[in-house]
Amino acid sequence: SAILTDISSWLQQGRAPKVKACVQQALDEGIPAGDILEKGLLDGMNIIGQKFKNNEVFVPEVLIAARAMTKGIELLRPYLVTEGVEEKGTVVIGTVKGDLHDIGKNLVRMMMEGKGLKVIDLGVDVPVEKYLDAARENNANIIACSALLTTTMTEMREVVEAVKASELNGKVKIMIGGAPITQAFCDSIGADCYTPDAASAADAALAICA
Ligand code: B1M
């Protein structure tokens, strides 16, 4: 649809007000929130990611595109999240230490909330101990770690090992994800669950808590 192409293109230009207006228009046209996310916002961010890789755009452009993406996602939030459902479990989520990427992590949080899970969001650049402390304080079922950099994904191994060495071992499951993460990496560090996207992360978290 034309409006989804517009969303992608305004996002690539980092024009947050335009992105918001088009997302609202798409909602008004009855386009499902999931399609607006995938075929509009994520499409635009993927193109920016490619251009970034090819040195056609630079960090400032990517940053304003990311801000526009966050504004668009905020509008979709009520449609992706069902409020007031009974809590089915607790997840502590964060982006690992040294890593500031939070769009994927925020999507995972929203999808998990949409499944009725309580989510404690620790933000970005989260040191190992902070995950464990939050898991203890909130009696969490799951620690969920996101990483977007090949240089920070190794932090996940530290989280797994810290949990194993603590009284949380066996009580708290560790979920991991993010663009550079694979099932093979998950197996190699001994994490409990890898999922490639936000929707499957929410399904897996629900299954773990059930
Ligand atoms: Co950065 N960046 N970035 N960046 N950035 C990438 C990741 C990169 C692949 C770009 C590229 O070169 N093509 C590259 C990493 C290369 C590598 O490690 N091999 C890169 C780089 C190099 C950098 C800097 C080092 C650049 C620099 O400064 N020279 C720097 C690092 C800063 C830091 O973290 N310390 C940097 C900075 C930034 C910005 C700040 C400008 C901005 C982030 C803004 C923000 O997040 N608020 C940014 C962005 C936006 C990107 C790209 C373009 C897009 C990432 C994104 O938000 N995608 C990215 C290129 C790309 O990925 N194509 C890139 C949309 C988001 C929905 O996808 O996060 O993958 P994603 O989440 C997905 C899945 O991965 C999954 O669910 C989501 C979808 O359903 N998922 C999980 C995520 N977490 C999960 C957890 C789970 C399960 C699933 O369970 C717990």
CA 34 from chain center: how many Å?
A: 15
Task: Name every protein residue with a CB atom under 6 angstroms from any ligand 1 atom.
Answer: 42, 45-46, 48-49, 52-53, 59, 62-63, 66, 98-105, 107-108, 144-146, 148-150, 175-180, 195, 197-198, 201
CA 114 from chain center: how many Å?
A: 13
Please report the pLDDT score of residue 115 as a whole number: 82
Per-residue pLDDT band for 83 (boundaries 50, 70, 90) equals: low
Per-residue pLDDT band for 1 (boundaries 50, 70, 90) equals: confident
Show the CA angle centred on residue 80, arms to residues 74 and 85, nearest 5°.
115
How far from 188 is each of 178, 181, 184, 193, CA to CA, in Å? 16, 11, 6, 12
Phi, psi for 165 (deg, rounded to 5): -85, 0
Nearest CA owner, ligand 1 atom 15: 149
CB contact set of 21 (below 8 Å; sequence gap of 6+): none
* 82 pLDDT higher than 70: no
| Lowest mean per-residue pLDDT among 2-11, 109-118, 156-165 | 109-118
Percent of the chain with pLDDT over 70: 98
Determine contact, residues 44/23, Cβ cutoff 8 Å. no
User: Which residue is it, tokens 């769009």?
Assistant: 103
Determine contact, residues 132/198, Cβ cutoff 8 Å. no
Closest ligand 1 atom number to CA of residue 48: 53
Ligand 1 pocket, mutate which of 53, 97, 101 (most atoms under 8 A from CB): 101
Show the CA angle centred on residue 119, arms to residues 116 and 102, nearest 5°.
120
CA of 85 to the centre of ligand 1 (A): 31
Q: What is the mean pLDDT of the chain?
A: 94
C-alpha torsion 40→42→43→47, nearest 10: 140
Show the CA angle centred on residue 14, arms to residues 9 and 19, nearest 5°.
60
Element (H, E) at 59: helix 59-80
Please report the pLDDT score of residue 110 as a whole number: 86
User: How far apart, in whole angstroms, are the C-alpha atoms of residue 23 and residue 31?
Assistant: 9
- What is the token pair recorded at 114? 């949409």
Nearest CA owner, ligand 1 atom 85: 177
